Structure 1
């Protein structure tokens, strides 16, 4: 597995277009073939990729490995030292149920950690320049002026979703107006659709495409932790009835370690599961709940436009709906005639640099119109008004 990071992305290279006919003395066999590169190799965000782009994680994954160690060690000790005794003294179903819970926990954890959480593609330089020109022209018309100086675009736009006004914020790094419920993760340096939070324990952002797996992970982990803790205590009690409490602890020191780990973990895990159950039942995200986006304190008319008004419907929408496809196509090949998003400087791209990029692109376009056609893809930075219409219609 070869990890790949977020390197700088190149603009259209018009120097590759030959402006003179090749000499008859030139041999076609001497031309070097340029190997096709995949998009994950030049991805601008701060992510790591494995298995040729199939696995996508955050760059900081140390806490994720700690999560794996805690689950594997605690479960391994339980199956090795407690289950043989409990299967004989109580029932063989105990290791079977424990094994099912363990594999479900590991499956949902890896699915959450290794998947695209819903990253939104960044605007290409052409798309960003076109968007800024549109906003600048709209401002001039609204103000009745047409100043020649360059002004940065406004930071917000407003759309109506189910009768509630929702503001779309402009991302200075990705050069897009973020769709509703999206936010920019400062750790991964990506705009994530229906952003919930960045979870270091799973080593990834939690968003639209992996939230259900995150919820199933913490819920199943709660059951596994309670299950192990309860039967470890049962194991110690049964042994203490035969040989005494101190001798039982000496005979099974692994049970003591398991009980300590589970005791200090169960409160936070169960509490986190309960909190996200509340969020799912009200169709909110952690980001919205922390900010108080739909709190009654902001006004009597402030309400959550994404809630269906029914707990069961909200839960079904969050857990049972179809998973949207990834928008970044990280395993796709880079086409030489496709403009690539510009890499940010220190995580934030200022508008002065954007203006110089747009001037450069405008000059290049005069000499290489055949190599780079802007506006071919209707990405999130190019057709911004459509975001509001799409989300208003679907009420996501």
Structure 2
């Protein structure tokens, strides 16, 4: 029995090998954080509140006021859900980590730069300076991803990834908010604020209209769903509207939540924001109407890996393999056999046969008497008759 190592190629998607704390679904098309409990709560609140509104208020309002009220509510609800799913299921702008060769090269560069540091002193922080709009911006080194992060990028501790133009990690959407999904996040908060105000306003209208006929207390008893909607919308309204107003302020300055919390452009140094155009309209157009950036992860790309596997050979398989090995060894050695089947080999291959033929021919000539007047023949001339009949005639 013998074992043979066989390399077997296996293809897999890149999202299966990506580091970080993310969850992938639908063959890598959906990318979210692992902590999705608050996201499910968001879905439940939005869908549940709208379902109560469509079930209790919309039939009465469509009959007594206008049928356009439920139609507009449905369109607004669909837009909110589309923006929420687009924000939650997309790549926020995750930066790929450095390959082992790239990480080694960067470490060598850093060590060469810190070679002049005296012994016992701490080396300087790993920072690179770049100039953006006549302003020096520092690029910090990420010890997890082994890269110098681009401007405005930061490492998310929850997802364990560096995100380009990192704004914040939002548990309500179950994902990071960054360069690729920030506009959808803002449109989600804006449309959700409008939907909350819309439902809250028409809940009040519905209670007022029914109170005219049956009284306020009886109306509350008859419509418990409306009371629940009013309470949910009242407590949700302040947070959602306040969040939308805060991000409107950040967009007008072309600033992120992470930069605002750290005071990157409003600290003691009073460093100006190099990304701001000093114009609210231009800043809003750049953030909300700029180009859509493609993902740099290539989540659904194929990766080919060689997996070594051992196979044991015994019985006929082993004999066949040994015969193949002997054939290969015979072919690898130098042979003296002729390449063409009908071609004779040189005399040095068969010395016994050639010597015996020549000896018999010489002894036959010695037995034959040579006439005195016959000149001697050279070896190159005819050595004698080729047939017995000719020999007799000469004798």
Question: Scaled by the length of structure 2, what TM-score is found?
Answer: 0.74
Q: Give secondary structure in 1 for the equivalent of 2:104.
A: helix
Q: CA deviation at 1:200?
A: 0.1
1:332 to 267, 292, 301: 301
**CA separation of 1:152 and 1:176: change in aligned 2, threshold 3 A:** farther
1:254 to 210, 218, 225: 225
Contact 2:10 2:305 in 1 (8 A): no
Q: CA deviation at 1:323?
A: 1.2
- Pairing 1:146-165 to 2, within 5 Å after superposition: 154-165=125-136
Task: Kindly indicate whether residue 287 of structure 2 is the aligned counterpart of residue 312 of structure 1.
Answer: no
Give 2:90's aligned residue.
115
Contact 2:129 2:137 in 1 (8 A): yes
Structure 2 unaligned regions, length at least 5: 307-395
Which shifted more, 217-226 or 128-137? Answer: 128-137
Question: Scaled by the length of structure 1, what TM-score is found?
Answer: 0.74
- Pairing 1:59-208 to 2, within 5 Å after superposition: 59-140=34-115, 143=116, 154-208=125-179
Structure 1 unaligned regions, length at least 5: 1-22, 338-396
Which string of whole-angstrom CA distances, capped at 9 and with x for unpartnered residues, describes residues 22-78 of structure 1?
x9x98xxx9685431111111111000000000000000000000000000000100
4+ runs deviating over 2 angstroms = 30-35, 151-155
**CA separation of 1:33 and 1:153: change in aligned 2, threshold 3 A:** farther
- Pairing 1:14-29 to 2, within 5 Å after superposition: none
Q: Distance in 1 between matches of 2:148 and 2:117?
A: 24
Q: Flag the structure with larger Rg.
A: 2
Q: Distance in 2 between matches of 1:211 and 1:192?
A: 12
Contact 2:166 2:177 in 1 (8 A): yes
| Corresponding residue pairs, total | 304
- Pairing 1:350-389 to 2, within 5 Å after superposition: none
Q: Provide the aligned C-alpha RMSD in A.
A: 2.1
Q: Give secondary structure in 2 for the equivalent of 1:49.
A: strand
Q: CA deviation at 1:144?
A: 8.3
Contact 1:132 1:153 in 2 (8 A): no
Higher normalized strand content (fraction of residues):
2
